[in-house]
């Protein structure tokens, strides 16, 4: 049976007399969907999860689960389960006792508790470890216990608050895919809070970008990554190289005006990254900022750039090798840009940064 639908209407949540953390936020989640919340620290991601679970007081708005308002329900009456960043396990209990805890406080008979615990241990790949104290388990195993405790109560909505942030990279990769497989198998409606863009892209059916307690963009991972609707979203989704440019509209094209560090270039309209620029002529041209990702650029010296390419000129200030490619910090007119290239360039080298038109996101300077 799939999870239930979740509708959040005009939710306002704050602490004390301070300004609201969430201010009129609205979200719809379909049954069985997994939605990831992404955003900078303080944007309201965890506050939203805590409000859904009943751990944060709601000033106004509605939280509808399959049409039923749950605002006034106690946390254990909402048919939701939350997995915390810190695991929140009972250290004096075994893995099995932790998993059984939620079942016992619901008054379920011991025989049924035992059956469910064994089933959950198998589900989260902890067979044979039920009798082990949680303090004797690895981080990845503890995370599985926390997930198993949430799943044991058969929730219709699962809330995950950065559940893998305490795991090392290898274990995080493994647990990530296990959670995805379990969520799809059980068809639980799931809300995931994460600061890890790759985690959100891997796990989610949809991603919501939050800023200042509001959803500023929502869409599939492909839509949010390929078509950011603002400079904030572009930067958050990895296009965090930023360069100011002056644009002038021409017939079917835009002209990027030249400076000491920008080669004047005419770029035909169409096939830009995302939907930008749809038509700078509508804005009369003028001052724009261009965003691009470090792996979308290449470095070239001397040879003619390919067609439909914007070229910037700068000086290498730093070079490192993260593996597979060299990462260069390049000063371009006072802007620090990061460019990945298979070739090593030394500090002090003057280089050209080649930017294919399809890698460029243009926004007017007054865009939010």
Q: What is the mean pLDDT of each run of 10 residues along the chain (368 residues)?
A: 85 86 94 94 92 94 94 91 86 93 90 94 91 91 90 92 80 83 90 92 95 94 94 94 93 91 90 63 77 93 80 97 96 96 96 93 81
Measuring CA to CA, which residue among 171, 188, 176 is closest to residue 1? 188
Element (H, E) at 253: strand 253-256
Query: Cα separations (Å) of 363 from 220, 252, 264, 347?
Result: 22, 18, 18, 31
State residue 281's pLDDT score.
52
State residue 18's pLDDT score.
77
Our measurement of the distance from residue 190's CA atom to the centroid of its chain's CA atoms, rounded to an integer in Å, reads: 14
Query: Cα separations (Å) of 339 from 60, 113, 273, 306, 318?
Result: 46, 55, 17, 17, 11
State residue 345's pLDDT score.
96
Measuring CA to CA, which residue among 205, 193, 203 is closest to residue 85? 193
Measuring CA to CA, which residue among 136, 99, 137, 93 is closest to residue 118? 99
State residue 353's pLDDT score.
96
State residue 59's pLDDT score.
94
Q: What is the pTM of this model?
A: 0.88
């Amino acid at each position: 049976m799939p999870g239930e639908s979740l509708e959040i209407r005009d939710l306002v949540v704050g602490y004390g007399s301070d300004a609201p953390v969430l201010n009129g936020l609205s979200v719809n989640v379909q049954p069985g969907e997994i939605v990831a919340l992404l955003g900078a620290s303080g944007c309201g991601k965890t506050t939203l999860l805590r409000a859904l679970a009943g751990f944060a007081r709601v000033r106004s708005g509605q939280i509808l689960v399959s049409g039923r308002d749950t605002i006034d329900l106690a946390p254990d009456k909402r048919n939701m389960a939350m997995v915390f960043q810190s695991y929140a396990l009972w250290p004096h209990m075994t893995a099995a006792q932790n998993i059984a805890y939620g079942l016992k406080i619901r008054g379920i008979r011991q025989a049924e508790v035992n059956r469910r615990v064994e089933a959950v241990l198998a589900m989260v790949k902890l067979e044979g470890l039920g009798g082990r104290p949680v303090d004797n388990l690895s981080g990845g195993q503890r995370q599985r216990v926390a997930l198993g405790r949430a799943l044991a109560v058969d929730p219709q909505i699962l809330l995950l608050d950065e559940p893998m942030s305490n795991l090392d990279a290898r274990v995080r990769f493994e647990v990530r895919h296990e959670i995805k497989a379990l969520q799809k198998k059980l068809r639980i409606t799931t809300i995931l809070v994460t600061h890890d863009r790759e985690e959100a892209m891997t796990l989610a059916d949809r991603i919501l970008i939050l800023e200042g307690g509001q959803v500023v963009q929502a869409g599939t991972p492909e839509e949010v990554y390929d078509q950011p609707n603002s400079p904030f979203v572009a930067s958050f989704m990895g296009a965090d190289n930023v360069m100011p440019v002056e644009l002038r509209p021409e017939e079917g094209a835009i002209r990027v005006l030249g400076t000491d560090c920008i080669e004047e270039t005419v770029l035909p309209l169409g096939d830009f990254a995302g939907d930008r620029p749809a038509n700078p002529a509508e804005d009369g041209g003028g001052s724009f900022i261009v965003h691009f990702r470090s792996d979308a650029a290449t470095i070239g010296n001397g040879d003619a750039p390919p067609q439909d390419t914007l070229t910037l000129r700068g000086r290498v200030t730093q070079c490192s090798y993260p593996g597979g490619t060299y990462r260069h910090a390049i000063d371009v007119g006072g802007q620090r840009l990061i460019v990945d290239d298979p070739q090593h360039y030394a500090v002090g080298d003057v280089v050209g940064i080649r930017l294919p038109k399809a890698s460029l996101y243009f926004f007017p300077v007054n865009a939010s």
